[in-house]
Amino acid sequence: MLTQTSTPLPQNTETTPTHSTDDAQSVDSQLDRAAALLAMLDETTTEQRSHDQLEALTLAVAADLPVLLWGEPGIGKTAALTQLAASLDLPLTTVIASVHEPSDFSGLPIIGDDPATRGVPMAPPDWAVRLADAGRGLLFLDELSTAPPAVQAALLRLVLERRVGALQLPPEVRIVAAANPPSSAADGWELSAPLANRFVHLHWTHDHDVVVRGLGGTWPTTPLPTLAPEKFSSAVDSARRAVCTLLAARPALVHKLPGSQTRRGGAWPSPRSWAATVRLIAFATAASASSDVLSLLIRGTVGDGPGFELLASIDHMDLPDPETLLADPSAAQLPERGDLRQATLDAVVAAVRRRPDRTRWDAAWEVLAVAVQTGAPDLVVVPATTLATLRRDDWQIPDTIDQLAGVVSVSRAADDAAERVAARPEPGRMR
C-alpha cells in the first residue's frame, strides 16, 4: 500500500532588497561624474561672425512683423530663436501649434455673471496670460506646418492683431513661427493663403563651417544691427519711394495671388505685404544692412519675382542723375558695379537723345571718357556707338573721341575674333 506523504510548501515571503551605504555613495559618485562630463561638454566659447539670416530675422522682429522660419528638422531654428531672445533680453514662450485646439488661440468660452446681457467671454490660455503679465516677450509658434486648417484659422487674429480671445497682448510682444516643409513635416499641411500673407518668410539653412566649429567648441555670436536715428527720415522717404515707384509702373503687382496652393503658402504680393515691405526697407536702411540682408527681407515678404523687380528698381534709384553728369562731366562719380555703371552710361546717352544739343553731346563724350579711365573699357562700346549716331552734320567731332576710338576698335576686333572662332568647324567634322 502506497503511502502519500505531504511535503510542507515553502511560505511565500517577499524580500526587500537592501543597499548598503557604500552602494548609495557609489551611485551618487557615478552621477556626479556624469554631471561633470556633461558640464565639460557644455563649455563652449563664442566668436563674432556675420549671419545674414539672423540679421534679417532681427530686423523683422524689430520692425514688429511676424516672421516664419522655414527649414528642415534639426537645422537650428529653435537655437536661433533662443539666441535672439537672449540678445534682445526678451522672455521666450514656446507654443507647439499642432498640439493645440483652435479654442486655445481664439479663446475658451466661459460663463460670466449675466450671459444674457454681458455675453459669454472668451478666456485666454495660461501662456497668453503670462505674456500679458510680463508686458513683453517673444512668442515662438513652433511646428506651424503641422497645424490643421482649423488651428491655422484661429491663429489669424493672433498673428495680425496680437489678440487671444478677449486678451490683447502688449505691443512689446513679438511673434516668430517655425515650420518644416510639408514634405518633411509629420502629417504636414500647406499653409493657408491668409495666414501665409501675414508673415515674413525666411528660409533657414545651415552653414557647414559654423556647424563644424560649433561642434568643436566655438559657436558664433552675431551683433545686433543698430538703428541710426539720423537716418530715419531719409530711410522712410526712400522706402516709400522705392515701393511706390515700382507699383506705379507695375500695377499688376499690387495684389497677385499665386495659382498653386503650395505657392500661396509662401510669400506673395498684396497691399498688406507691400506695407510690410516699406517698413522693412526703412529698418534695413536705418541699420545700414547689406544688400543680401535686404534681399532676404524683400523676397521673404512679397516673393521672389516681385522682390527681384523691386531690388532692381532700388538699384537704379541710386544711380546718378544723367542731367547732373551732363552738367559737370569732369566731376562725374560713376557706380563701381558693372551693371549699374552700364545703366548709368545708357541713361546719359538716352538723355542726349531726348534733348539733342551740341553741348550736351560733347558732355556725354566726356562722361564716357571718365568711364574708360575709371572702369572696364568694354562697358563704353555700346553707349559710344549709340552716341555717335546722334551727331548732326554741323557738329564737330570732339577731341574726347580720340581717347575712345582705340577702345571701341579693339573691342570690336575682339568681338569679330570671337565670332570667327565660334564659326570655325570642330576638328574632324565635315562641312
How would residue 180 be classed by pLDDT, with cut points 50, 70 and 90? confident
Cα torsion through 269, 273, 275, 278, rounded to 10: -80
How does the average pLDDT of the chain come out, rounded?
83
Q: How far apart are CA 183 and CA 191, in angstroms?
A: 13
More confident residue, 202 or 99: 202
Gyration radius of the chain's alpha carbons: 34
Beta strands 45-48 and 218-221 are parallel
pLDDT tens, position by position, 279-335:
999 999 999 999 999 999 999 999 999 999 999 888 887 788 888 999 998 888 898
User: Which amino acid type is present at position 175?
Assistant: I
More confident residue, 206 or 323: 323
Distances (CA, A) of 63 to 171, 263, 277, 314, 332: 12, 25, 10, 20, 37
Is the predicted pLDDT of residue 6 greater than 60, yes or no? no
How would residue 3 be classed by pLDDT, with cut points 50, 70 and 90? very low
Q: What is the mean pLDDT of residues 82-101?
A: 88
Whole-prediction pTM value? 0.72
Residue 374: what pLDDT? 87
Residue 353: what pLDDT? 92
More confident residue, 27 or 147: 147
Is the predicted pLDDT of residue 144 greater than 80, yes or no? yes
Q: What is the mean pLDDT of residues 91-100?
A: 89
Question: Which of 343, 300, 320 is CA-nearest to residue 196?
Answer: 300
Partners of 96 in the β-ladder: 142
Residue 29: what pLDDT? 85
All cell numbers assigned to 319: 544711380
State the Cα angle at 315 between 311 and 320, rounded to 5°.
Answer: 165
Residue 123: what pLDDT? 82
Q: How far apart are CA 69 and CA 299, in angstroms?
A: 13
What is the DSSP-derived secondary structure letter of residue 302?
H
Residue 21: what pLDDT? 62
Is the predicted pLDDT of residue 10 greater than 60, yes or no? no
Q: How far apart are CA 130 and CA 140, in angstroms?
A: 14
pLDDT tens, position by position, 371-403:
888 888 888 888 888 888 888 888 888 777 766
All cell numbers assigned to 105: 488661440
More confident residue, 11 or 283: 283
How would residue 5 be classed by pLDDT, with cut points 50, 70 and 90? very low
pLDDT tens, position by position, 224-253:
789 999 999 999 999 999 999 899 888 999
In the three-class reduction of DSSP (H, G, I as helix; E, B as strand; rest coil), residue 17 is classed as: coil
Q: What is the mean pLDDT of residues 159-176?
A: 91
All cell numbers assigned to 29: 559618485
Residue 418: what pLDDT? 45
Sign of the Cα torsion 97, 98, 100, 101 reads positive
The percentage of residues in the chain with a pLDDT greater than 70, rounded to a whole number, is 84
Is the predicted pLDDT of residue 183 greater than 80, yes or no? no
